[in-house]
Structure 1
Amino acid sequence: MQRSSSIAWRLALSFAAVCALVLSGIGVFLYRSLAGEIAYRDDLALMGRLEQVRALLQDSDSLDALQARPRLYQNMLGNQQSLLLVLRADGSTVIGINPRQQHLPELRPIAQELRPQRGDVSLWAGTDEVPVALIAGQANGPEGEALTVVAGKILSEREQILASYRLRLYLAVGLGAVLAFALGLLLLRRGLLPLRQLSESVRQIDLRSLDRRLHTTGIPAEFHEPVQALNAMLARLEESFQRLSQFSADLAHEIRTPLHNLLGSNGLALNQPRSAAEYQEVLASNMEEFERLTRMAQNLLFLARAEQAEQVLDLRPLSLAGVGAELCDYFEALADDRQIRLENGFSGELRADQQLLQRALGNLLANAVRHADADSVIHLRRRNEPGWCWLQVHNQGPAIAPEHLPRLFDRFYRVDPSRAEPGDSGGLGLAIVRSIMLLHGGQVRVTSEARATVFELGFPVL
């Protein structure tokens, strides 16, 4: 299985990427600011040079005197990156300072009466791929001769400065990203130390120490909710494990009784010769125990499927009066034996699974008939609440002690184990009722007081 990357590494890489992006944005801003400032200064220098040459030409006595002093213009330009051309109307050159002897493009000179603006400065690629900034303007020479002045600057120095600055920006962004990654990884590992300690604490919890809980003191606030969720999960696991252990013990106890009866009766029958009638009696007794084991196995299988949500509900509108009538007819003989009368007070409709509803109500009704007082009445009633429909099985008989009520729906739990009878559910009847109600998304509850016990099944009404 491929191992997933560390969250610390991923967060550190993300942090480094964000830092690189921020530094890149700042670098681009600074680079453009520097390039704009240098271009602004170069343009101002070119415009000032054009004005100076215009004034110089206008104040000169003759063009011959200007042509005889070329070093003056070279000193005025100050470096080998600048160029200056003064042209007559016929295209002949009066002053020509062009260190690289580049063939300049045709420019549109600005009028004599206009002051140069930055928009008049144009960029030219240059013959050697080095950009050149150029500006041209009309000027008046001695005796009012019309001249054209072209001032320019080769931008190789500017390009070198900007290239050097770009290189430094690249190095700064790269170094910043590396430092951000290293520092982020270090801080994240230190920050995740409580998580590793929490993992170690969880690793030390096993089946023998499910009662242990994780401490919430001294941990970051972000871990409080996960720790509380883990503690709640541990509590559920402990409860489930205890219930499973208790269920295993109860199951062993419940199975041991019929097996002991089978072994005892068969052992007695084999100790000495018996008549055919006596063997038939032993076989009949064995059949009762086998039926008890079969019912127990079927009930356990139903509970297992219900808890694993394998039971598919067949929901349909049911006539509660009809369901109650069928149950009363089924239990009428048993109730008559105990001199108990059944009263069906169900009415209206309910959307539920018919077989499961009959099984749940049948289990409650069987318990009610078994424990009701003689000459009493068992009532089946319906009670409505906002959003709920409650079906009640009300019987008169000995009240159930309050300490037993919370455990009535546990598997194999009996209020009085000595009152177990052949044909009962083996302590699984009420557990099946609860599972059926959970499948329906409903509730089950019981109240018992003053020699009256009421079991209620609550179905949500949409």
Structure 2
Amino acid sequence: MSEPARGPSLAWRLALAFAAVCALVLGVAGVFLYRSLEAELIYRDDQALLGRLEQVRALLQDSDSLDALQQRPRLYQNMLGNQESLLLVNRADGSPVIAINPRGQQVPQVAPIPEQRSPQPADIHDWRAPGATPLLLLAGQAQGPRGEALTVVVGKQLAEREAMLASYRLRVYLAAGAGALLAFAVGLLLLRRALRPLRQMARTVAQIDLRSLDRRLQWRTIPKELHEPVQALNGMLARLDDSFGRLSQFSADLAHEIRTPLHNLLGSNGLALSQPRSSDEYQELLASNVEEFERLNRMVENLLFLARADHGQRLLNLQAVDLHELGEDLCAYFEALADDRQLRLDNQLHGCLDADLQLLQRALGNLLANAVRHATPGSTVVLARVGAQLTVSNQGEPIAPQHLGRLFDRFYRVDASRAEPGDSGGLGLAIVQSIMQLHGGQVTVSSDAQATVFSLAFTPSDRGTAPATAPSSA
């Protein structure tokens, strides 16, 4: 048998998400720092060019002659400060006065700004040509010695700045990538450690079987976020333990209940076959067998009804039930049994109630049969209605408190020695409880020296589900 397909690891998915978030944060921070550095470098280069043009203009205006200026090239080189800068001073006819261009960079024609206007950052030209080094240029008119018109061009090659920014971009990429990898590795390690309690829980749950349903998961040593799932699992284990215990008890009780009529059948038939019998004796044996078969049949029908009710397979056929008429029918049915026990039946039911007639008749019948069976001779069994509650009360020996909570368990009897051939086999009250659960109500019992009272509490319900046939009354 092939293993079921496994989904992606939760730890891997969370670690990847953590790495993606870290990469995004580092990337955004890197882009912000890169843009800030680029803006700062552009600002500094622009300010340097603007200041340089003003300095050259002032120098030319204060000089005595152009020849003296031409004889001091080192002064201009020191003023420029590096090999990336250039300075060109030309006469009006285009002949050079000063030409400092360490790299021999080709310089395009740039329109100079007027002499009277101070240079602005907008006057700087960013010149980029295919195959050539990017260049910043600023040109302006100037006045030389004796008022000669000159043109000054200052510039700066951007190769160094471009290389610096490219190196910074690479570092940003490497930092974001390395940070994402580190975040993934650390996140995966931390998540695996954080998920260790889940693996321990899985191993603990895997070791629980039918013989150890009483085991519970320890939640005090696990993270707070897992407390609710662990408590839910413990609750499920408790319900499973209780259900399995009830099932085991039910199986044992069922085997015990079935064994008695089968033992009677085997014993009586074996005894009858041990020697020849008269026809009257055989007829008496068959009558006894029929009684045991009827007992088994009632038990099977009751068990089938309980099974269908537990699985929601019994739908309600709600209708307005005349309670007084129903009480009269039930009293008439149990009148002969009540007379045998010197009891009186008092029907005080009145009004109408929305319920399933067959199920309500069966529930009240089971309670009435139970009351007649245990009532004190000479007393009265009363059927009454109090609001939405229907009660069946009888006078008799009170039920001990330790038995009240188990009266509605299947096959449970307060005194097994009082079982009679016509009873429900310990299923009558369990059927009453299932019928009330189908109606959305409940059954309760109280018992003291004055009386034992069973109460059926109904809640309002909607009409209209498909009718179903119920087994005969127990």
Q: TM-score, normalised by structure 1?
A: 0.86
Percent same amino acid among aligned pairs?
69
Match of 1:231 in 2: 234
Question: Do the aligned residues in 1 keep the contact of 2:324 with 2:347 (CA within 8 Å)?
Answer: no
State how 1:128-167 maps to structure 2 within 5 Å: 128=131, 131-144=134-147, 149-167=152-170
Decide which moves more: 40-49 or 352-361: 352-361
Match of 2:208 in 1: 205
Match of 1:126 in 2: 129
**Matching of residue 195 in structure 1 with residue 194 in structure 2:** no
**Matching of residue 252 in structure 1 with residue 252 in structure 2:** no
Unpaired segments of 5 or more residues in structure 2? 462-474
Match of 1:344 in 2: 348
Q: How far apart, in 1, do the equivalents of 2:92 and 2:363 lie?
A: 116
Question: Do the aligned residues in 2 keep the contact of 1:328 with 1:344 (CA within 8 Å)?
Answer: no
Match of 2:448 in 1: 449
State how 1:160-309 maps to structure 2 within 5 Å: 160-309=163-312
- In structure 2, what residue type is equivalent to 1:194? P
- Secondary structure of 1:273 counterpart: coil
Q: How far apart, in 2, do the equivalents of 1:122 and 1:382 lie?
A: 103
Provide Cα deviations, 1:25-71, integer angstroms capped at 9, x if missing partner.
22222222222222221121121122223223333456676677777
The alignment's C-alpha RMSD in Å is 3.1
Alpha carbons of 1:396 and 1:82: their partners in 2 closer, same or farther (altered >3 Å)?
same
Decide which moves more: 62-71 or 355-364: 62-71
CA deviation after TM superposition for structure 1 residue 101, in Å: 1.3
Question: Do the aligned residues in 1 keep the contact of 2:323 with 2:349 (CA within 8 Å)?
Answer: no
Alpha carbons of 1:71 and 1:429: their partners in 2 closer, same or farther (altered >3 Å)?
same
Provide Cα deviations, 1:413-446, integer angstroms capped at 9, x if missing partner.
0112222223322111111222223333332211
Alpha carbons of 1:78 and 1:201: their partners in 2 closer, same or farther (altered >3 Å)?
same
Aligned with residue 62 of structure 2, among 51, 54, 59:
59
Question: Do the aligned residues in 1 keep the contact of 2:348 with 2:385 (CA within 8 Å)?
Answer: no
Unpaired segments of 5 or more residues in structure 1? none
Q: TM-score, normalised by structure 2?
A: 0.84
Question: Do the aligned residues in 2 keep the contact of 1:346 with 1:380 (CA within 8 Å)?
Answer: no
Alpha carbons of 1:84 and 1:406: their partners in 2 closer, same or farther (altered >3 Å)?
same
- Secondary structure of 2:405 counterpart: helix
State how 1:413-424 maps to structure 2 within 5 Å: 413-424=412-423
CA deviation after TM superposition for structure 1 residue 246, in Å: 0.9
- Secondary structure of 2:187 counterpart: helix
Q: How far apart, in 2, do the equivalents of 1:117 and 1:28 lie?
A: 28
Alpha carbons of 1:301 and 1:110: their partners in 2 closer, same or farther (altered >3 Å)?
farther
Q: How far apart, in 2, do the equivalents of 1:289 and 1:102 lie?
A: 122
Match of 1:431 in 2: 430
Q: Give the count of matched residue pairs.
A: 455
Q: How far apart, in 2, do the equivalents of 1:139 and 1:326 lie?
A: 128
Provide Cα deviations, 1:371-395, integer angstroms capped at 9, x if missing partner.
22334333333334xxxx4332222
Provide Cα deviations, 1:308-350, integer angstroms capped at 9, x if missing partner.
2333334455554555455445444544444321313243544
Q: How far apart, in 2, do the equivalents of 1:362 and 1:380 lie?
A: 11
Q: How far apart, in 2, do the equivalents of 1:327 and 1:141 lie?
A: 133
- Secondary structure of 1:45 counterpart: helix
Q: How far apart, in 2, do the equivalents of 1:165 and 1:150 lie?
A: 31
